[in-house]
Structure 1
């Protein structure tokens, strides 16, 4: 019997097969030889910026990259002091296998991935769930009290009741755009203005259960835990995560996710126009530009970017991959470059808070057996302020890493005013209540590493979390790369990033919008995709997301 087709990040709003476009032997496209060597500005050296730059370089353009902070964006792998390879993944740390376009680049640069130690997975080994002062140890769902199984069953039933989820999943597996849109588009109108919490409480399955069941679901979630942070969000955002299996079958990048971009920056590629051995690093003189502070239209029609030192350079096109709020707070963008409806979408985008606290320890001591024969510590989900605690084992005799706390929204704001040492103290105090008598402190080495993305002036938040009614805003941002019908004064500047995508917080959205922008820049400069490998803009009219009336 044939194995079922895998679920991939195909649609559902715009069901275009980005991974097939990437791997087609005909290539993504080409630009006229007269445009070869022209410079394109890329604002941001994160996943979208570097991947778009790599593909534009291959077409014979010179991508010039501006970065206001740290190379890598929210693929930020911080190395603990005194080590070479012990890391804290401050941004993206777990990558679902359905992210086929992202893994294209992981494979291209020769990096390895391994299963992520999520709750109730074999990689985690064991999981502890601590709610309202009661602790449960489990290796799989069947080890937990009945209420947890009832919650899991109820959520699956809710998905079927409200969205015909099995049929939707099959359409994604089959990569059937017509069937997928026939099922998905009615859900857009039905659920855009309703919350995740509304989806839960209005389902027959949860109505038959208690408030306690909803509390448990909010803490443990349907995958990696902590989903009450998303209860106010538009249900469409959650449905996409479920449907595309973004919260399932996740892996981590050995050596750090940032290495995907670091290697792509230095890796030669076969390019039009440029000589053999050309790299992004080489085209940028070995380093990125600094902060971009202004984007404007010149009298000659080209676009000009001014850096923080007051130097202005002209470009054939500009790609902005930074978080959208930076386009009104950090970068002075001429208002005429975007339509007012797009400005509304960019400004009204809502970003969620996210915080992580990591420590390095001398060894993976949590595997030591306790008095009850269980491991001393386990992957932990709790209603305490740590919310999620993860363990990263680098080998029995090597320094290891504990993510003491990964939290969102209100839980992230609780630690916002505090420095790393205070955050560690708060996390340890919480874990000591879950694991009384277990000594974590004596194993800690070096200095902790922490992040609050909302406190970083280059981000102002962790990732987008669309509120009810935000579908129209997302549609405007995502579809901006298709500029055929725009006024000329608004053409040539493009947007990309996971916040522009339909799937914020997942790197696949950053990759897919980067590829949309590549097509946009290519066609803006007179190029095209080959007929046998049409790009996203070539199929936009046929596959474009549902338009809701204003």
Structure 2
């Protein structure tokens, strides 16, 4: 078991790691923090309606910032506000919640935390394996169980696995050099390192990278196997093994898989707060305006069709038939929906863009939660002197079990199983109760004297994101050879070079980001789209605070042959 912090701790006085994406190392946090704001549109454009498809985090950030500029965002949503930041309540205790999608947010995601802080949301450390916020961790592989409070408590074998991973990313992928450049925001150095790795690594899987590294070749297969099952930061990563190693490097370079916090009360509180917030620095709109008030407290219905009308505007037709035309639109929903659930006019995107949209690869993901009467895992076993249960990583069906509570005097939550891809698909045909039965059976093998069932109250909550027709997966994760597709999707917001008939519709959201799976990417692509709309409507960035589109040539993702 290894954590990025074991070899990325700053020296005294050094700046922290941020999610400064090596593909486009634009400082979104500084852009947001600048008192000059994000820009302006001509006075004649004030009040202009802008369609925003999707009320997930990216759509709401986009709409919120457009509203502040004096535009009128019109949000369309097929289900509920929040997208994959979805929080469910237990029926028997509505204030006890389970985060079905995003649940842990790295402190390096500074643009994300700009909104968390702006909206005054409370956060708490997330209990990842072997994290300082986690009282204890049990790792159980091949029937052998190990109790640990820190990585130093694990057998030497696990320290060897950790050392092999550290060596692999330093020797093969210039980890230390990249982190030093990210700390100092040396964008030229970030791009030099990253661009030198892109062409070779784009064709490489995660597993191929570790298998071909000298450190793991010398260590042997058992170390690679354990690394996949136990991993680093949040746990096992073997379900990511077929993905491009570029996806993994983006995560570890930026500490995205370490030092996580959760939003107290549930992650959905953030998009809901954006929906209801009344900013003080509004242009055009009266004081007290919010996204909720602009929409009469409810977003529009699901989008059924997107077309160009006879005047060249973007015509949005809702599920129930209402149609409205807009000068410009931002589409933040899962990109596959543009061909599977939304009748989208083909000419809106170039053929190569459609290829990029269609070839996105999604990770399946499943979670199952139960509510328990109290955080009983804090009880001490008199025979061992240890807690009766710990955060658990295993090669059994559950893979990862998390223990979540907000105090000893109230019910608590066990995330019995958090799985990905093949492991998630094993749960897909099973009911919630069937899932819980199998998960408890697995945990019984690890904790034979503990009666977890006696503590469960109410009904379980479960989700399989691949089974949701509005998402069809948890998030995008590129396969080898797909960097070119991502480059097209990400840079689409800077439209100076595209055909006129394809301008004015912008893509944003998790799919478009190079750091999919992290809320930071949803925020930053939403900000890209805001810049695109400003530019399209004849506006400009604020003086002294240039936006992302002005850096796309200098810092943007390069085109591979």
TM score, norm. by length of structure 2: 0.97
Asked if 1:515 is matched to 2:527, the reply is yes
Distance 1:232 1:245 in 2: 21
1:234 counterpart residue number: 244
Shift of 1:11: 2.1
Q: Which residue number corresponds to residue 452 of structure 1?
A: 464
Of residues 48, 51, 60, the one that matches 1:38 is 48
User: 2:419 maps to which residue?
Assistant: 407
Deviation for aligned residue 1:84:
3.5
Matches within 5 A, 1:375-394: 375-394=387-406
Q: Is 1:422–2:404 an aligned residue pair?
A: no
Residue 306 of structure 1 aligns to a residue whose secondary structure is: strand
The residue number in structure 2 matching 1:74 is: 84
Secondary structure at 1:376 match in 2: coil
Pick aligned residue for 1:541 from 546, 553, 559: 553
Which secondary structure state, in structure 1, belongs to the residue aligned with residue 444 of structure 2? helix
Mapping 1:195-344, distance limit 5 Å: 195-269=205-279, 270-344=281-355
- For 2:173, which of 158, 163, 168 is the aligned residue? 163
Q: Does 1:190 align with 2:200?
A: yes
The 3-state SS of whatever aligns with 2:219 is: coil
Partner of 1:494: 506
Q: Which runs of 5+ in 1 are unaligned?
A: none
CA distance in 2, matches of 1:251, 1:344: 36
Partner secondary structure for residue 349 of structure 1: coil
User: Displacement of 1:531 after TM fit?
Assistant: 3.1
Inter-partner Cα distance in structure 1 for 2:12 and 2:146: 39
Q: Which of 367-376 and 295-304 deviates more?
A: 367-376
How far, CA to CA, are the matches of 1:265 and 1:545 in structure 2? 32
Give the Cα separation in 2 of the matches to 1:296 and 1:452.
32
Q: Distance in 2 between matches of 1:145 and 1:360?
A: 33
- 2:68 equivalent to 1:58: yes
Cα distance in 2 between the residues matched to 1:11 and 1:392: 31
Aligned equivalent of 1:178: 188
Q: Partners of 1:532 and 1:367 in 2: how far apart?
A: 53
Deviating beyond 3 angstroms after TM superposition, the runs of 4 or more aligned structure 1 residues are none
Unaligned runs of 5+ in 2: 1-10
Number of equivalent positions: 549
- 1:191 Cα deviation after fit: 0.1
Deviation at 1:395, TM superposition (A): 1.1
The equivalent of 1:12 in structure 2 is 22
Greater Cα shift, 364-373 or 396-405: 364-373
Give the match's secondary structure for 1:84.
strand
CA distance in 2, matches of 1:221, 1:171: 25
Q: CA deviation at 1:2?
A: 4.7
Separation (CA, whole Å) in 2 of partners of 1:373 and 1:67 = 51
- Does 2:454 match 1:442? yes
Structure 1 CA distance, aligned partners of 2:314 and 2:532? 15
**Counterparts in 2 of 1:98-109, with a 5 A limit?**
98-109=108-119
C-alpha distance in 1 between matches for 2:234 and 2:377: 20
Aligned-pair distance for 1:4? 1.3
Is 2:348 the counterpart of 1:347?
A: no
What corresponds to 2:99 in structure 1? 89
Q: 1:360 aligns with which of 359, 366, 371?
A: 371
Query: Following TM superposition, by how much is the alpha carbon of 1:82 offset from its aligned partner in structure 2, in angstroms?
Result: 2.8
Note if contact 2:21-2:515 (Cα within 8 Å) is conserved in structure 1: no
User: C-alpha separation between the residues in 2 aligned to 1:122 and 1:249?
Assistant: 9
Q: What secondary structure, in the 3-state scheme, does the structure 2 residue paired with 1:538 have? A: helix
Q: Choose from 495, 504, 507 the match for 2:516.
A: 504
| Rounded Cα–Cα distance in structure 1 between residues aligned with 2:522 and 2:333 | 11
| Displacement of 1:260 | 0.8
Question: Cα deviation per residue 1:59-96 (whole Å; 9 max; x = unaligned)?
Answer: 11111111111210000111111323211010000000
CA distance 1:27–1:377, shift in 2 (3 Å): same
- Residues 435-493 of structure 1, C-alpha deviations (whole Å, 9 max, x = no match): 10210111111110000000000000111111000000000000000001111110111
TM superposition shift of 1:223: 1.2
CA distance in 2, matches of 1:265, 1:121: 33
Per the alignment, residue 7 of structure 2 pairs with none
Q: 3-state DSSP class of the match of 1:481?
A: coil
Cα displacement (A) at 1:290: 1.2
- In structure 1, what is the Cα distance between the partners aligned to 2:90 and 2:12? 46
Aligned equivalent of 2:5: none
SS in 1 for 2:442: helix
| TM-score, length basis structure 1 | 0.99
Local SS of the residue matching 2:59: helix
Deviation at 1:318, TM superposition (A): 1.0
